[in-house]
Amino acid sequence: MAAHNQNDKKTTSSEEVISPITPSSMDTAPIDLGHIEVLQILNEHGEVDAGLEPEIGHDRLLEVYRAMVLARVFDKRMMTMQRQGRMGTFAPNLGQEACIIGQVTSLTEKDWFAPSYRSFGAQIMRGWPMEHLMRLWAGFHDGFPPPSNVNDLPFSIVIGSHALPAVGIGMGMKYKKKNDCVVVNYGDGASSQGAVSEALNFAAVYKAPIVFICENNGWAISTPTSKQSANEILAAHGTAHGIPSIRVDGNDILAMMCATKEATDRARNGGGPTFIEAITFRMSLHTTADDPTVYRDESEVEKWESRCPIVRFETYLKNKGVLETDSIERILASCEEEVLRARDTFYKMPDADATEIFDHLYETFPKELHEQRAEYMQRLKQKGVGE
């Protein structure tokens, strides 16, 4: 891959490459990366490595930038709605916008995406209406199925469970001799799930056209990476299964786009799977049911604020003459308007019909279920529901 290797002449030491992009648990002694490459194109100051800078048109750069901003605006609005009691439990994505958006920019409409629950930015870019996602997070069943024109799985709530179905989709593509691919993502915590290891092994043996993206954001709820794995270089999970693997600065949108494109190209061309470990950081809560101040030192969060993926991309685009200050303000305003329109549409959607929950269980209704349904309906009536 086109990346900095530990032994690359441009790199004086492994620590020089690692220190800007790894979680705080890696701020100690440098670890031998062996043959696992590390890719960073755009550093935390918005400075680009000219030798690795990809050729991306200005319109595409702005499209990606807006997608990142839109993801953050959506995130903030959902947090507000949840605190107002108008939204269910929500998993924010603050600080991980580059990691999420970058993994789907090389996908076509024929490709598939198997997201975890923090992937709403990518889902929006893939064509999910925001009011549809709001419906999902509010607990409505009709929010989970993807739009009819989007080749995505519903996001996985059961940690790591979606990795195997994603490999299955990839194998289906291979059997049908389709030159398409699948991207599946999961967090560092999911890497401890047996299903993920099974998926990696099966994909490696049968060369499934799939890209595994492990979003290493430093924390599996309250468990730090140092307690999640004896080897904190999670890209080693890929190499252990014989899969080409790379560590990427997950807050560098250019690096994420380049690594994912190379991986999806390999998959479509019969080269089999790729493993990408995206080093990022969860700046906010695990979910709105979480309080990270109980287990995480806020000084750790402060260190990552300067590594904000949106700010560094803005700096790069300004230096490139693609973006100006007034453009930033206009893009932010348009994203806020778009999210508010989606919110208003969501508020106008019908409530769930509480009387329907028995309707699709059996073709022929058992006698005892009739009795349970009658009791349930009576209780709803007493509560003034369904009248």
Q: Is 87 a member of any domain?
A: yes
Identify whether the C-beta of residue 144 lies closer than 8 Å to the C-beta of residue 184: no
Please tell me which residue in 77, 162, 241, 282 is annotated as part of the active site.
282
pLDDT at site 34: 53
Per the domain annotation, does 105 fall within a domain?
Answer: yes
Same domain, 328 and 375: no
In a domain, 130, yes or no: yes
Does a structural domain hold residue 5? no
How far out from the chain centre does Cα 269 lie?
24
| Average of per-residue pLDDT across 239-258 | 97
pLDDT at 11 exceeding the cut of 70: no
Higher pLDDT, 100 or 5: 100
Greatest extent of the chain over all pairs of C-alpha atoms, in Å: 76
Task: Give me the number of domains the chain comprises.
Answer: 2
DSSP β-ladder status, 219-220 and 223-224: antiparallel
Per-residue pLDDT at 27 exceeds 60: no
- The band of 386, judged by pLDDT with boundaries at 50, 70 and 90, is low
Angle between helices 58-83 and 130-137 (to 10 degrees): 30
The verdict on whether 117 is a catalytic residue reads no
- Residue 363 burial (C-beta neighbours within 10 Å; 0-12, 13-18, 19+): exposed
pLDDT in tens, 274-316: 999 999 999 999 999 999 999 999 999 999 999 999 999 999 9
What whole-number distance in Å separates Cα of residue 101 and Cα of residue 104?
Answer: 6
Confirm if 187 and 118 have CB atoms less than 8 A apart.
yes
Instruction: Specify the pLDDT at position 30.
Output: 45
Residue 42 lies in a domain: yes
* 296 shares a domain with 193: yes
* pLDDT-based confidence at residue 387 (cuts at 50, 70, 90): low
To which H or E segment does residue 195 belong?
helix 194-206
- What is d(CA 47, CA 313) in angstroms, rounded to the nearest whole number? 9
Angle ∠(295,285,97) on CA atoms, nearest 5: 130
Helix axes 58-83, 325-348, angle to 10 degrees: 50
Q: Which of 45, 141, 295, 330 is catalytic?
A: 295
With 60 as the cut, is the pLDDT of residue 4 above it? no
Q: Are residues 119 and 235 in the same domain?
A: yes
- Say yes or no: 282 and 367 in one domain: no
Once rounded to an integer, what is the mean pLDDT over residues 172-191? 96
pLDDT of res. 37: 93
Query: In terms of domains, do 327 and 376 share one?
Result: no
Instruction: Please tell me the predicted confidence (pLDDT) of residue 359.
Output: 82
Residue 145 has pLDDT above 50, yes or no: yes
pLDDT at 18: 36
Q: 185: domain range?
A: 14-347
pTM above 0.75, yes or no: yes
- Domain with residue 63: its CATH number is 3.40.50.970
Mean pLDDT of the 40-69 span = 97
Residues 47 and 63 in one domain: yes
- Least confident among 92-106, 117-131, 359-373: 359-373
Q: Per-residue DSSP letters for 120-142?
A: HHHHHHHT--HHHHHHHHTT-GG
Helix 253-268 with 58-83: angle, nearest 10 deg: 110
The first and second tokens of residue 80, run together, are: 């507000």
Q: How confident is the model at residue 137 (pLDDT cuts 50, 70, 90)?
A: very high
Verify that 155 and 249 share a domain, yes or no: yes
Q: Of 132, 237, 286, 343, which is the active-site residue?
A: 286
- Domain match, 284 and 319 both: yes
295 is catalytic: yes
pLDDT at site 160: 94
180 contacts: CB under 8 Å, gap ≥ 6: 108, 110, 111, 112, 173, 209, 268
Q: With respect to residue 2, please indicate whether it lies within any of the assigned structural domains.
A: no
Quick: pLDDT tens for 190-238: 999 999 999 999 999 999 999 999 999 999 999 999 998 999 899 999 9
Same domain as 255, residue 376: no
Alpha-carbon torsion (292, 311, 36, 153), positive or negative = positive
Do 185 and 244 lie in a common domain?
Answer: yes
Q: Do residues 150 and 193 share a domain?
A: yes
Same domain, 270 and 150: yes
Residue 286 annotated to the active site: yes
What are the Cα distances from residue 13, in Å, to 10, 25, 32?
A: 9, 18, 10
- Measured between alpha carbons, how far is residue 131 from residues 81, 96, 334 in Å? 13, 21, 16
Is the CB of residue 153 less than 8 Å from the CB of residue 166? yes
pLDDT, position 24: 42
